[in-house]
Amino acid sequence: MNDTQVLNIAVQMLVEMGKLAAPVLIVSMAVGIGVSLLQSITQLQEATLSFVPKLAAVALVVVFAGHWMINSLVGFTDHMYRLIPALLHAG
């Protein structure tokens, strides 16, 4: 196993983790901006007011996208396990 293969695996892993984290992060950011806008309009500055909607939104994302996330992660893991014999013989 050479350094090119290690870097290729690391890049694949980072891309996969980015794809899995993106829905949660994007929804959390959008809800956070919306709640901050609402707080600045109403001048209601309560810390827990921003936490609860984000938690609910992230929970909904996990409920709706969780199946895709698990399938994607299992597929990536399966792909990595299938690479093991080729990596052992390449070294």
pLDDT at 89: 79
Q: What is the pTM of this model?
A: 0.81
pLDDT at 73: 96
CB contact at 8 A, 26 and 57: no
pLDDT at 90: 63
Residue ranges in the chain whose pLDDT is less than 70: 90-91
DSSP 2-57: -HHHHHHHHHHHHHHHHHHHHHHHHHHHHHHHHHHHHHHHHT---HHHHHHHHHHH
The tens digit of pLDDT for each residue in 5-28 reads: 889 999 999 999 999 999 999 999
pLDDT at 76: 96
pLDDT at 60: 97
